[in-house]
Structure 1
Amino acid sequence: MLQDNFGRRFYYLRLSVTDICNYRCNYCLPEGIGCGRSLEGENPLSVAEVGTLVRAFASLGTEKVRLTGGEPSLRKDLVPMLEAVRASDKIRRLAITTNGYRLPSQIDDWHRAGLDQVNVSIDSLDPAQFRHITGHDRLDKALAGLDRALALGVDTKVNAVLMRKYNLAELDNFLAWIRETPVTLRFIELMRTGDNHEFFASNHVSGSDIETLLLREGWEQVIRTRDAGPAREYFHEDYAGRIGLITPYGKDFCASCNRLRISAQGKLHLCLFADQGFDMREIIAAGDSDALAAHIRELIVDKTAGHQLHEGFTGATRNLAMLGG
């Protein structure tokens, strides 16, 4: 079992397959796709390299793999990549995070490839506001893809980044929506990155305020599984859906960390806001998953106790498209 110096065990791998995104979200890449290109150039991991990575992490106890971006659906070989992850019988859960742009046309293929869970980024249920936030008039497509995922039996979650000026006023609309829609709606605190200092200062909202509201209205917390993500989830008997809260600025957020990240170019990031990634591309390309696993064990000792976001430290993370947030 992969374990760091603080006793934390890592069951969950977030694997970026591209750092390119076709949206222009105001909190991430407001200037568009050019800002999302890696300083090293795109040159993403191949399907074979992803297979080597997954075998190595599976041998270390990883049970859940999430493909992230950028936008994963921009990869033409995404289905073979999903199949490569699914080929490991030790991986119990295969997930993907997407902006939903191509979801209606691709979710069936992803499901056939073995996808268990999809997270769709929908920061507003108002079409005009959605367009303002993302730069695209595609809310209807994202919702259609979400409906199809539910019809296929795929565990479906919705990610909404909380922003004071853009969607905080929609809280009641979001709650009304999940009264009838069986998804987990995850409100994510806006995080400061290298590129969004001013936007963060004017739009950050604490998730604790929403948590107080939920508890007052009779919502109850769901017991976490060991491969669960960072969200604290809540359920209510009157609602078909659930609420999740991801509060990186909350007390002891890092104490329950169970996930590691790999960039699209094969760097191991021990934290989303680490000051560097460890380049493993050469050893990954060699195809020896046992040697790779041994190398990962050596690197895990450098994982720190916390992310230092409270001190304004953002590490190497210029924007969230780099590592999928």
Structure 2
Amino acid sequence: MGYSPSTQPKSGLEDRFGRHITYLRVSVTDRCDFRCVYCMAENMSFLPRRDLLTLEELDRICSAFVSRGVRKLRITGGEPLVRKNIMSLFRSLSRHLESGALEEVTLTTNGSQLKRFAHDLRAAGVRRINLSLDTLDPDRFRSITRWGKLETVMDGLDAADAAGLKVKINTVALKGVNEDEFNNLIRFTHERGYDLTFIETMPMGDVDGDRTDQYLPLSVVRERLMDHWTLQESDYRTGGPARYVTVAETGGRVGFITPLTHNFCESCNRVRLTCTGTLYMCLGQNDKVDLRAPLREGAGDEGLHAAIDEAMLLKPKGHDFIIDRKTRKPAVARHMSVTGG
């Protein structure tokens, strides 16, 4: 691995609304060892392995984006750390960190494999990870994830701390499920030096449930938090969609990702690559371009860059996420695990 483009660096990526694309989120697998109730059905049918990009193909596409001015790569899934030999991709991409072409490679994980891989991730240049954690109660954790064990994730967090990885916890706000835990999650994360970000449940894919029952607006969450904490506005940004406040009592940060109550499309700098090589310009839209085809048809760098240029013309102004209370159908049919979080 370690593909080197044969052409000179291309011009940067800009969509038709003048937004510069500097952030690529890359799903390396649709598989996961959890079955979170808001993300997947319990009995999922996963993609045939032949349909997935090889690690070498993933490296080549990521490198093409880096040559076009992408400064941040986030590796996602499914659960990315269940992909066989995934550390070879991290090690290969680290050459872009060493050259200065790339600012950071980050990871979104459920934490199940962190005990095994935390030190290897650090050695490959990863400095920051996002970990999905919706509850601190072991029984509730099992109920939400269906298959997961909280103690395994906690062991992973200990390993991440020991390796020197900076951790941000992502919590999906679920009405009637975990809304009684938000204050405890703030205490837990800030005591460990983590940021905490709340996320509204997103209407993607059939999950064997009714999202009208799950949906909890973060405007409501924020109002409730203000009964217990002093929330101070912050201009802190990580390059993603979260908007942060500082909790005066702890000194820690809390972020809010609000795709439904207040979208963040005007400043979107992101595109998403699926594990099959489909490039989606928006998580909440279906505009897409196939990047696997030019790779497997033997197209050179020019063909790959031409497909990327085509994609920029398709990036929409914004998403159309909505919780449909009449049909109770998801706004987007594909599961979150297909596109990557």
**TM-score past 0.5 threshold:** yes
Paired position in structure 2 for 1:305: 317
Q: Percent identity?
A: 33
Unaligned runs of 5+ in 1: none
1:126 is matched with: 137
Aligned positions of 1:42-53 closer than 5 A: 43-53=51-61
**Which residue does the alignment assign to 2:338?**
322
Answer yes or no: is the 8 Å Cα contact 2:107–2:128 preserved in 1.
Answer: yes
Q: How far off is 1:316 after superposition?
A: 4.9
Q: Report whether the alignment pairs 1:28 with 2:39.
A: yes
Deviation digits for residues 204-234 of structure 1, max 9, x if unmatched?
Answer: 0011122334567322233244x61111122
1:67 and 2:75 correspond? yes
Distance 1:271 1:132, change over 3 A: same
Paired residue secondary structure (2:210): helix
The one-letter amino acid paired with 1:49 is: E
Structure 2 vs 1, CA of residues 238 and 17 (structure 1 numbering), >3 Å: closer, same or farther? same
- The Cα shift of 1:153 comes to 2.1
Note the C-alpha offset of 1:282: 2.5
- Residue range with higher mean Cα deviation, 227-236 or 307-316: 307-316
Across the aligned residues of Structure 1 and Structure 2, the Cα RMSD in angstroms comes to 2.2
Aligned residue type for 2:255: G
Q: 1:236 to 1:243 in 2, by over 3 A?
A: same
Q: 1:278 to 1:93 in 2, by over 3 A?
A: same
**Structure 2 letter corresponding to 1:319:** H
Whole-angstrom CA distance in 1 between matches of 2:233 and 2:322: 26
Deviations 1:233-261 (A, max 9, x none): 22234325321111001334211111100
CA distance in 2, matches of 1:265, 1:280: 9
Contact residue 206 and residue 330 of structure 2 kept, 8 A: no
* 1:250 counterpart (255, 258, 261): 261
Is this contact kept in 2: 1:219–1:236, CA < 8 A? Answer: yes
Could you tell me how far 1:185 is from its partner in structure 2? 1.2
CA contact (8 A) 1:220 1:234 kept: yes
Equivalent of residue 292 in structure 1, options 296, 301, 304 = 304
Distance in 2 between residues matched to 1:239 and 1:290, nearest whole Å: 51
- 8 Å CA contact retained: 1:276, 1:316: no
Q: How many residues align?
A: 321
Deviates more, 1:106-115 or 1:280-289: 280-289
CA distance in 2, matches of 1:296, 1:80: 25
- Alpha-carbon distance between aligned partners in 1 of 2:340 and 2:41, rounded to the nearest angstrom: 16
Query: Out of 90, 94, 104, which is 2:105 matched to?
Result: 94
CA contact (8 A) 2:40 2:335 kept: yes
Q: 1:289: Cα distance to partner?
A: 3.9
Q: Bigger radius of gyration, 1 or 2? A: 2
Matched residue, 1:222: 234
Report the equivalent of 2:185. 174
What does the per-residue CA deviation read over 1:18-41, in whole Å, with 9 as the maximum and x for residues that have no partner? 011121111122314x34x13x76
2:115 equivalent to 1:113: no
Amino acid at match of 1:65: L
Give the match for residue 265 of structure 1: 276
Q: TM-score, normalised by structure 2?
A: 0.87
What is the deviation of 1:288? 3.7
Structure 2 letter corresponding to 1:222: S
Distance, in Å, in 1 between the alignment partners of 2:305 and 2:194 is 35
What TM-score results when the alignment is normalised by the length of structure 1? 0.91
Q: CA deviation at 1:108?
A: 1.0
Structure-2 change in CA distance of 1:207 and 1:79 (3 Å):
same
